[in-house]
Structure 1
Amino acid sequence: MLLIWIRVIWIAAVLINLSGVIWFILGSTANFQRGIDLITTVVMMYFGAPSIVLIVVSMVLLLKRWSPLKWGKIGVIGIIICMLWLTPPLYESVNTSGWLIENVQTDTLQKTADGRYEYNIELVNLFQRNSYARLYLKSVSMSAISRIRVDIPLNEIDGLSIGEVNHWIKLEPYLEEGKYLLYTTEDFPLPGERFEIDVKKGKAVRLKQAAGQIQKVELKRISYKKAHMNIQYPSIVGLNDPYMEKKVNQRLKSDALEITKLYQEDDKTSLDIMFIPTWIGKSLLSIQYIGTEYTSGAAHPINIMYTSNVNLLNAKKITLQDAVKVTDDFIELYKLGNYIKFNPNLDVGTDAMKELANFSNPELIRYFTHADEASENNALQVFTYFTKDALGISAGTAHALGDHFEIEVQYKDLIHNRLLNANFDTK
């Protein structure tokens, strides 16, 4: 018979080692809520697997009431020592974050436009099956803190880029007092997620469809008339979110009328401008404004062309710099693009390309830096528009060439990450 004290120590060693294995498995998988990573696999191979083998062997021998001889007793002591030596690394290698304590990642703290709340988004136990998101709110006036759970599908996230400053969400005043619109930004792996936040009730309700998911779109024609200025611009109807529809229409009006800042409201200057939609997508609306400007006493009217590109998810203006990296490679693609006639009776493509060749790449890059600005900074009058298949760029030129000319670059040619934002649904 094996000495009683050795058997007791052996049983205790088995229980201790078994507890270490169970702790390691539960902790490393966060109670089976996440997968096993490389470090966990290595620890399992060097400490977990030998422990399991020794536990199984020990239990079999103990249940059979094995009575070893002298060298067998030495072997049992060796098994006890090995199990006790293997146990501490199993406990020490467990990360309790995401299991016993929450693993929380947040973006940079921001403040709402009305100045009432500081906020950010908290991603709890990201990359685990029990992951979820919640909105952190701190009242500026009362310093009261609340957290509202938000049904963002974090299980669809494969990776998350984290920089020094991260703005994964925006929180804006919504339709009525105490309610806010939360939407995820382009910096977040799941952009366009939208929720109505009721601060008083502490609830977040998912908006059934994002602003860009349009049921039926109509563009209404609005006329702006003042002095001798006549500008027609669109108003969009059909967005499921009335708040975002209002903001988009405010953006469209602002972009359309921004040109009036460049002219005096007098009897000497007249503007006559109409609009043409070049693309209406789920998240992008692109508008061309074409017309003429005439100053009393001038030899001829001047042809005008400018654009408005609006992200329907957040009503933000989209510029050339938002769409592409303006580099030498892009300038070369631009120079090889297709000339587009804005007037069927005016075909000056060859002459326009010759004039374009007079600019060096650094000069065009400098001009393109101020593209889509209705200001004197945009010296070459560069404006961007989108179509189904191409990115269009309009630039000013001599009156003999039509005052402006348009070149389109096919999306299929904008490879190697030159088109930055795939959510413009233009491909």
Structure 2
Amino acid sequence: MEGGQPTGIYEAFARSDRRELVGMKNILKTIWKLAIILTSTALIWFLLGSTAFFQRFYFDLVEFAYFISVWVPTLVLMITFIFLIKKGWIPRNLILQVVITIIILIVSISVSTALFKNTTLYGWIIKQTRIDYVQVTDDGKYEYQLALTNLFQRNSYARLLVTDVSTDDEMIIPIKIRTKEISGITVPSKTVPKREEPPLPSFVWCTLNATDKEAIYMFTTTKYLKESIEMFEINMDKKKAKRIN
């Protein structure tokens, strides 16, 4: 109350001021539009996250549950609401519009929060890398690990992580393994395996052995990585991998 006169929405009803009523309705419509923008952003964000920016076309169990129970119904409701606004099929009663606005805000914020919270960033914003156990070449000169990034996606790739035992110098060698052929692997743990951990056979994705040529090593994948075996010639000096088969 200001000066004994009702304020806000009550003042609009008391004075029957059409301009204020129109202004209030415009404010409510603006809130509706903002709710639509927020919800649309959440829907798009979840879709991008669940497909890793369209780098994979499958959902995990949790994502699929949210997609069916939250994403699809929200999309249908939002399209329906936009259609009603476009057609002008909205209540003329201002109080009813306020009630609808409150409901829309609650639903929009709740759904958007759930979608944003359950959107994974791995595989598109944050790279997801799986690494096998530390192994040592048969001549004892190098430690090595195979790192697979964004596995089971179109943007997946592999790198060979090598450490010179005598100098502790590290190098990363890109290696063009056909990662898209990998259907499933066993990973040692969620963290990078430690060198003192003994490698189990199912965690050994590759071998790296010395050849009769200086600084040239033979890299071979194992059946625990993929059925088809791939071989590469690794040049430690040039830090390059050359496909053999």
TM-score bin, normalised by smaller chain:
0.7 to 0.9
| Percent identity between the two aligned chains | 34
Q: Residue 40 of structure 2 is aligned with which of 18, 38, 43?
A: 18
SS of 2:184's partner is: coil
Residue 101 (structure 1) shift: 1.2
Please give the TM-score of this superposition, normalised by the length of structure 2.
0.77
Unaligned regions of 5+ residues in structure 2, if any?
1-21, 189-198
Whose Rg is larger?
1
Residue 114, structure 1, aligned to residue 131, structure 2: no
Unaligned regions of 5+ residues in structure 1, if any?
209-427
Please give the TM-score of this superposition, normalised by the length of structure 1.
0.46
Residue 89, structure 1, aligned to residue 89, structure 2: no
CA offsets per residue over residues 254-283 of structure 1, 9 Å max, x none?
Answer: xxxxxxxxxxxxxxxxxxxxxxxxxxxxxx
Q: Tell me the residue number matched to 1:39.
A: 62
CA offsets per residue over residues 19-58 of structure 1, 9 Å max, x none?
Answer: 1111100001101112122221210122212221232133
User: Greater strand share, 1 or 2?
Assistant: 1
Q: Tell me the residue number matched to 1:74.
A: 99
Contact 2:149 2:158 in 1 (8 A): yes
Q: How many residues align?
A: 208
SS of 2:208's partner is: strand
User: Greater helix share, 1 or 2?
Assistant: 2
Q: Match of 2:153, as an amino acid?
A: Q
Residue 181 (structure 1) shift: 0.5
SS of 1:3's partner is: helix
Matches within 5 A, 1:97-246: 97-162=122-187, 165=200, 166-190=203-227, 192-208=229-245
SS of 2:127's partner is: coil
Contact 2:217 2:235 in 1 (8 A): yes
Distance 2:29 2:167 in 1: 64
Matches within 5 A, 1:394-413: none
Distance 1:200 1:9 in 2: 63
Q: Residue 82 of structure 2 is aligned with which of 59, 75, 79?
A: 59
Distance 2:74 2:167 in 1: 55
Matches within 5 A, 1:365-380: none
Q: Match of 1:126, as an amino acid?
A: L
Distance 1:149 1:36 in 2: 29
CA RMSD of aligned residues (A): 2.1
SS of 2:62's partner is: helix
